[in-house]
Structure 1
Amino acid sequence: MKIVSIEAFPIKSEMVGALYKGAGTEGRRPPWTKDAEVAGPMSGYERFKKLRSTWRYDGAVGCLITAEDGTTGFGTTRYDQPVIHLINDHLAPLLVGEDCMAIERLWDMMMRMTTPYGVSGLPSYAVSGIDLALWDLKGKLLDQPAYKLAGGPVRDDLFVYATGNDTDWHMELGFRGTKLACPFGLYHGLDGLAGTEALVARTRELIGPNVELMLDCWMAFDVEFAVRLVDRLKDYNLRWIEDCLLPEYAEAHDELRRRVPAQTLATGEHWYSLPSFGSACARRVADILQPDICWAGGFTGCRKIAQLAEAHGLEVCLHAGANTPYGQHLSVTSPAIRWAEYFVGGAPGVPLEETRVFPGMPVPVNGRVAPSDAPGFGLGLNDDVLAAMRR
């Protein structure tokens, strides 16, 4: 079956609300995301430190692939016009006419096509959107869910933890793990160390000793700040600290691993290429790797990363892996992926079903989720929904 068209387009940022106009449950209070300060790489600049949205360039992208019999597959990625341009003006014209079932061949072709300007970063986002659409298309053509095409499940469902700072709502929803977004980083100095410890202490007291607790540091630390913070947090039994350092500073990752040997480290959300993860595995800079399936080469790329991690005795937990059908399907197929993350951005009191992007996607119940058995990724899209997505 040949590919007849590949089209990338921008997705409306308000898409979630558009899908669930009939529900409209009122939150008990505004969500933590409304005005929470989260530390990051720009925290040293007063103009930009309060909100990521003041400096980040973003924008959701949809990728629709059509086969010669009219069947379509749909993938998503990010970074708006640059990625749309790479898909529509470079990759798509070269892939039209290829066999849509030969996904491994197509993935390798895209890796090689983007080599002259670098596979990591924006090109990886473009590859991811196409790859996810190909897996969705193949599942529909074969009338099989994507996880069966990948070899079938290794477990019946997934343990899911919640990310966000509405911790009381996470506990009410039945999650048995929760991850905090750290509001302080190296530019906050001693006050940042104290403030982070106070936040972690309050959270541990709220959830008790039998709920897993993690801390997302989102590239806001250097090695020295991270080491000092780990020492202060040792009594709170953190499952891991995450994404502490700027992603490209390889030697810093090595140094942090050396200086905090007893602390579980997670990272890789902002790594994109297979060689980057291969090097991290060989150097064992982290215990848990966290690629995003919509960014790091799609289903094919993250499947390879999970196999690399498994061969090195490491764990993978996809970034926001339970927030998309793509991540849910891959996660149940890999022995290296034991947990899944669900970012909770809706207001406390609003059911998770009302804040999902895809109508066909299951949401966690009491901290567990299993992917849909529908063909492909079971996105639940139709022509009307696809039309409503476009901006």
Structure 2
Amino acid sequence: MVVTKFESWWVERGKCLFDRKRQGSAKMGWDVLVIQLTADNGITGSATCMAARSGAVSEAYLNETIAPVVLGRDPHDREAIFQELWSIDRHEAFFPVFLPGPIDVALWDMCAREAKLPLYKYIGACRSSLPVYASSNFLPHAEDYVAEALYYKKRGIKAYKVHPSGPVPFDMEVHQAVRDAVGESFTLMSDPVGTYTLNEAIRVGRQLEQLHYEWFEEPFRDFELWKYTELCRTLDIPIAATETTRGCHWGVAQVIAQRAADIVRADVSWKHGITGTLKIAHLAEAFGLNCEIHTTTMNYMDMVNLHVSCAIKNCKYFEYFVPEDHYRLPMKGDLPIDSEGMIHAPNAPGIGAELDWELIQASCRSYCCQEYAEGSSAAV
């Protein structure tokens, strides 16, 4: 089996999910690229790719730099392809962090389909379901977080993560208001995606300890290792980091070595696919740390996150980015969450989720195709 066709569709989602403070003056269309690989035996593998700032840049990287690496290759050679893309990245490609991962996902999907196994069983199953936590957007008022937490609690979900939008006094108001509303038995986390000073983070962390939050995530940029080390040393609440750490498992290894996180983060979009995410999860397990899988902001790729989470032991929750309507396209249907707040891996071969091809075609801004024949690729 070799990959003979590489197709991509640039799909407009037509949503901006950030406020003005986080969007800045640049475009933020939150588009996606749909990728499909086809093998010489007709088996396909699919993935979706973020194109939040520039679909044109993402499309060009995929078709000019990544497609030639994949065409003509055996999709089982995922590790070799992973290593080659890293070598290319080091020598003047400098991929956006979310680009190599979807290619790896499509290769895994193709091979699991060939094996007629659901992806989590093809990787090596540990379980088939896990509890979800609803994960908020940045909301303008404390009462908005309260209303959302209570809504998902009523739906049977037993955990909620706030993304308080700052400044620090507002964040602390949100933390208190949500805890008061949901009660002590409900699990809460906080992720300010912050630029706190160390003293601010200690102050907020001590509040979260008193309110019995599960973890405190990303109060600094991920490269601020000294601040993370000091925060981990000072507080008892677990500190979650590495969501945007570059360098896949090599980058996360430096964080662990500096004792700069109690929980590490990874996902199949930003951490070089299933191959990269598994490397990070297994590295963390060796040091007795959990690897909590981070949302990709795309339901289809979050289904892949689900399969990976079911193939490792050291992940406690599934991150359910809400409201789901913002993240469904281009997947058909909703995530398989039951009335008890558990999400279940599908048992169909491969990823086991269906892309909405009619919607993809209707929302497609551009389409690219390259085919492999007799040792060369040709754009169509």
Normalising by structure 2, report the TM-score.
0.83
2:320 maps to 1:345:
no
Q: How many residues align?
A: 346
Which residue pairs with 1:65 in the alignment?
37
Question: In the superposition, relative to structure 1, how do residues 234 and 148 fare at CA in structure 2: closer, same or farther (>3 Å)?
Answer: closer
RMSD over aligned Cα atoms: 2.5
Q: What does 1:69-108 align with in structure 2 at a 5 Å threshold?
A: 69-79=41-51, 80-108=55-83
CA contact (8 A) 2:330 2:359 kept: no
Q: What does 1:125-274 align with in structure 2 at a 5 Å threshold?
A: 125-152=98-125, 154-164=126-136, 165=145, 166-185=148-167, 192-193=168-169, 195-260=170-235, 262-272=236-246, 273-274=248-249
Deviations 1:310-369 (A, max 9, x none): 00100011112794211110000101112111011258xxxx9x9575226643222101
In 2, the alpha carbon distance for the partners of 1:84 and 1:7 equals 10
CA contact (8 A) 1:325 1:361 kept: no
2:281 maps to 1:310:
no
CA contact (8 A) 1:243 1:266 kept: yes
In 2, the alpha carbon distance for the partners of 1:147 and 1:266 equals 25
In 1, the alpha carbon distance for the partners of 2:307 and 2:352 equals 10
Which residue pairs with 2:12 in the alignment?
12
User: Of residues 286, 301, 304 in structure 2, which corresponds to 1:326?
Assistant: 304
CA contact (8 A) 1:361 1:371 kept: no
Deviation at 1:305, TM superposition (A): 0.6
Question: In the superposition, relative to structure 1, how do residues 373 and 53 fare at CA in structure 2: closer, same or farther (>3 Å)?
Answer: farther
Query: Where do 5+ consecutive residues of structure 2 fail to align?
Result: 137-144, 366-380
AA of the residue aligned to 2:214: R
The DSSP-based 3-state class of the residue aligned with 1:112 is helix
The DSSP-based 3-state class of the residue aligned with 1:125 is coil
Deviation at 1:234, TM superposition (A): 3.0
AA of the residue aligned to 1:7: E
Deviations 1:192-225 (A, max 9, x none): 32x2222211111111111111111113323221
The DSSP-based 3-state class of the residue aligned with 1:221 is coil
In 2, the alpha carbon distance for the partners of 1:355 and 1:90 equals 28
**Higher relative strand content:** 2
The DSSP-based 3-state class of the residue aligned with 1:74 is strand
Which residue pairs with 1:301 in the alignment?
276
Which residue pairs with 1:26 in the alignment?
none
In 1, the alpha carbon distance for the partners of 2:323 and 2:151 equals 11
Normalising by structure 1, report the TM-score.
0.81
AA of the residue aligned to 1:149: Y
CA contact (8 A) 1:11 1:389 kept: yes
Query: Where do 5+ consecutive residues of structure 1 fail to align?
Result: 16-32, 38-47, 186-191
User: Of residues 255, 264, 270 in structure 2, which corresponds to 1:280?
Assistant: 255
Deviation at 1:385, TM superposition (A): 4.9
Identify which range, 84-93 or 325-334, moves more after superposition: 84-93
AA of the residue aligned to 1:176: K
The DSSP-based 3-state class of the residue aligned with 2:35 is strand
CA contact (8 A) 1:309 1:316 kept: yes
The DSSP-based 3-state class of the residue aligned with 1:114 is helix
2:342 maps to 1:368:
yes
Question: In the superposition, relative to structure 1, how do residues 174 and 55 fare at CA in structure 2: closer, same or farther (>3 Å)?
Answer: farther
AA of the residue aligned to 2:130: L
The DSSP-based 3-state class of the residue aligned with 1:363 is coil
In 1, the alpha carbon distance for the partners of 2:197 and 2:32 equals 30
Deviation at 1:240, TM superposition (A): 0.8
CA contact (8 A) 2:76 2:111 kept: yes
Deviation at 1:388, TM superposition (A): 3.8
Deviations 1:77-112 (A, max 9, x none): 213222221211012113211112222222122222
Question: In the superposition, relative to structure 1, how do residues 388 and 131 fare at CA in structure 2: closer, same or farther (>3 Å)?
Answer: farther
User: Of residues 355, 376, 379 in structure 2, which corresponds to 1:381?
Assistant: 355
Deviation at 1:377, TM superposition (A): 0.2
In 1, the alpha carbon distance for the partners of 2:35 and 2:202 equals 42
Question: In the superposition, relative to structure 1, how do residues 10 and 110 fare at CA in structure 2: closer, same or farther (>3 Å)?
Answer: same
Which aligned segments of 4 or more residues in structure 1 are displaced greater than 6 angstroms? none
In 2, the alpha carbon distance for the partners of 1:11 and 1:221 equals 36
Question: In the superposition, relative to structure 1, how do residues 234 and 200 fare at CA in structure 2: closer, same or farther (>3 Å)?
Answer: same
In 1, the alpha carbon distance for the partners of 2:346 and 2:189 equals 28
CA contact (8 A) 2:226 2:260 kept: no
